[in-house]
Structure 1
Amino acid sequence: MMVLIVNNDHDFRNIVRIILKPYNYDVVEAVSYNDGFWRAVEFKPQIVLVDNIITSKSGIDLCKDIQLIPGMEATEFLVFTDFDNELEKVVDSRIIGVIKKPYILFEMRKILPFPSIQQQAG
């Protein structure tokens, strides 16, 4: 499954990549709104993990714009935030969850499909 991570912090993207790697997710990274949009056009990820604030536009705006790309109608989104009540802004998007930093590992495991290691070996 292809996952796009959009965040301007290299260390944050690296941590998320490390979390996803054992579960065989293919990860593409982007550092800005524009970079994320064009990588979505190129790679057509099934899931986009995006920070709520990236460059001059919000991550939520990026999610809405990516949904308009042909072939991206079924893409799901997960937003990382520093703020409470971020879900109030995303009611009209296919956002499957909002994770308040710094609880990314625990919350990602609840929201994303993580097959067990035994399932992968079989």
Structure 2
Amino acid sequence: MVVLVINETAILRKALRRFFELQGYTMIEAGNFGQAYSMAIEYKPQFVLADNLIEATLCLNFFQLLQSIPGMEMTEFVVFTDYDDEFETAASINLKATITKPNILPKMREHFPPLH
């Protein structure tokens, strides 16, 4: 399964890459929404994870755009947020989870069990 991680911080992307590799997922990464859009078109990831706000753009708006790409209608999205329950009612996208920072990695195990 392919996971696209969108985050401006290379250190977090590196930690998530290690997590996903250990769980058996293939991770691709982008530092901004422009890169992420190109990668989504090419790879059609099953999961997309992003901060709630990147480049002054709310991730939900970007997730709606990604979900409109042919082949990504069933993609599930995860939001990294600074606030509890910020996006619990995001009905316009296939929201898998919201994960409150800074405890991202421990909570990832709940949502992404090992594939092997």
Runs of 4+ in 1 over 3 A off after TM superposition: none
- Of Structure 1 and Structure 2, the greater helix share is in 1
Where does structure 1 lack aligned partners over 5 or more consecutive residues? none
Match of 1:48 in 2: 48
Match of 2:7 in 1: 7
> What is the 5 A alignment of 1:32-47?
32-47=32-47
> What is the 5 A alignment of 1:53-68?
53-68=53-68
Q: Which has the higher contact order (CA 8 A, sep 6+)?
A: 2
Measured in 2, the distance between the counterparts of 1:65 and 1:72 equals 10
Provide the aligned length of Structure 1 versus Structure 2: 116
Larger radius of gyration: 1
Once the two structures are superposed, residues 6-41 of structure 1 have per-residue CA deviations (whole angstroms, 9 ceiling, x without a partner) of 001101111111111112211110011111111101
Secondary structure of 1:92's aligned partner: coil
> What is the 5 A alignment of 1:79-94?
79-88=79-88, 90-94=90-94
Once the two structures are superposed, residues 44-97 of structure 1 have per-residue CA deviations (whole angstroms, 9 ceiling, x without a partner) of 101111111111311111111100000101111111111233124522210110
| TM-score of the superposed pair, with normalisation by structure 1 | 0.87
Contact kept? 2:23, 2:113, Cα under 8 Å: no
Contact kept? 2:6, 2:30, Cα under 8 Å: yes
Contact kept? 2:48, 2:76, Cα under 8 Å: yes
Alpha-carbon deviation of 1:114? Answer: 2.4
Where does structure 2 lack aligned partners over 5 or more consecutive residues? none
Secondary structure of 2:72's aligned partner: coil
Contact kept? 2:88, 2:98, Cα under 8 Å: no
Contact kept? 2:6, 2:36, Cα under 8 Å: yes
> What is the 5 A alignment of 1:9-28?
9-28=9-28
Q: Which amino acid aligns with 1:2?
A: V
Task: State the identity as a percent.
Answer: 37
